[in-house]
Structure 1
């Protein structure tokens, strides 16, 4: 027969003493696996992923049936991501997307597509949006889609391609990316 207290006599102190070895074991395992760090000052910016925007844009220009532009963004902007997609449907098409981190650390995403604007906007942001105004940049009209507590979306139609800009960037950064993209000459396949 075990020499332990009856269950009714166990209290919070007994529970704490039971949990201490479990917590120590968890911390030890996390430390060994290098999955636990202590950051008293809060989170810090990690390294921005390296992405070869020139090679990606050139490849997309050779594979897609619409002109692809490689904008000359400011030198302190870092390209960090890219993808290609396809939108099904009558007004659908292909997309080429590149993301940039600005000097202020904000994400700006450029999508180029031969899909119609009505299909491209919901595809890019995952939900329908309604136009709330326009922005004129270097003679091109950009349709602005804003929604409270959501990232803005800017779209322009260059005839054979639609350009869409979204992300957490400021309107100055959107303007910079819009001007750089419309000024860029389409890449040769």
Structure 2
């Protein structure tokens, strides 16, 4: 004689009690693999990855055909990422991108390219369109702002186009824009 309930009599309580051992096994494996932690006071700021922006931009300046600038950002901004890509199609070109974490903990991206402004905007921003301009010093920046998206500014610096994008406030955008406009192209 079987000691199990007939299937017709099983309910959510039985399901719940059968899942408890499985959940405990998953928690044990995750703990052993150090893939989870518990913080009673909520998440904490992790370490910002180290990125040698000076070497990366110097390398880009030597290998790419357009002028690359290394802006003098505030000392409390931490470079944390960089990449190279290319924009295919009409008006495309090579792309150099670096990222910073500002003193407020927000991310700001600097993208430099020899592509046209339209190609750069489509590559980084998708289907967004310009919503205005921002004059800053002698440089005119085209602003791409939408309520649910990160703001972006694009400027034409002659042989190169520059895009600034991120979660920073207007002060962070102005700081990075002024630093880029003031920076001289790196030696080839």
**TM-score normalized by structure 1?**
0.93
1:54-93 matched pairs, under 5 angstroms: 54-93=54-93
Write the distance in 1 (CA, Å) between the matches of 2:80 and 2:182.
Answer: 22
In structure 2, the partner of 1:166 is 165
In structure 2, the partner of 1:120 is 120
Alignment deviations for residues 62-89 of structure 1 (CA, whole Å, 9 cap, x no partner):
0011110000000000000011111112
**Any stretches of 5+ residues in structure 1 without a counterpart?**
none
Write the distance in 2 (CA, Å) between the matches of 1:89 and 1:12.
Answer: 57
* Alignment RMSD (CA, Å): 1.5
**Any stretches of 5+ residues in structure 2 without a counterpart?**
none
Alignment deviations for residues 134-153 of structure 1 (CA, whole Å, 9 cap, x no partner):
11112111111111211111
Distance 1:12 1:63, change over 3 A: closer
SS at match of 1:70: coil
1:182 has 2:174 as partner: no
Write the distance in 2 (CA, Å) between the matches of 1:12 and 1:151.
Answer: 45
1:17-166 matched pairs, under 5 angstroms: 17-125=17-125, 127-166=126-165
**TM-score normalized by structure 2?**
0.93
Distance 1:117 1:27, change over 3 A: same
Alignment deviations for residues 20-70 of structure 1 (CA, whole Å, 9 cap, x no partner):
322222222222222221122221111111100000000000001111000
Write the distance in 2 (CA, Å) between the matches of 1:152 and 1:65.
Answer: 28
After TM superposition, where is structure 1 displaced by more than 4 Å over at least 4 residues in a row? Answer: 8-13
Write the distance in 2 (CA, Å) between the matches of 1:17 and 1:145.
Answer: 53
SS at match of 1:96: strand
Distance 1:22 1:71, change over 3 A: same
Distance 1:22 1:138, change over 3 A: same
Count of matched residue pairs: 188
Write the distance in 2 (CA, Å) between the matches of 1:150 and 1:36.
Answer: 30
Write the distance in 1 (CA, Å) between the matches of 2:127 and 2:12.
Answer: 54
Which range moves more in the overlay, 129-138 or 105-114? 129-138
SS at match of 1:131: coil
Write the distance in 1 (CA, Å) between the matches of 2:67 and 2:73.
Answer: 18
Which range moves more in the overlay, 8-17 or 39-48? 8-17
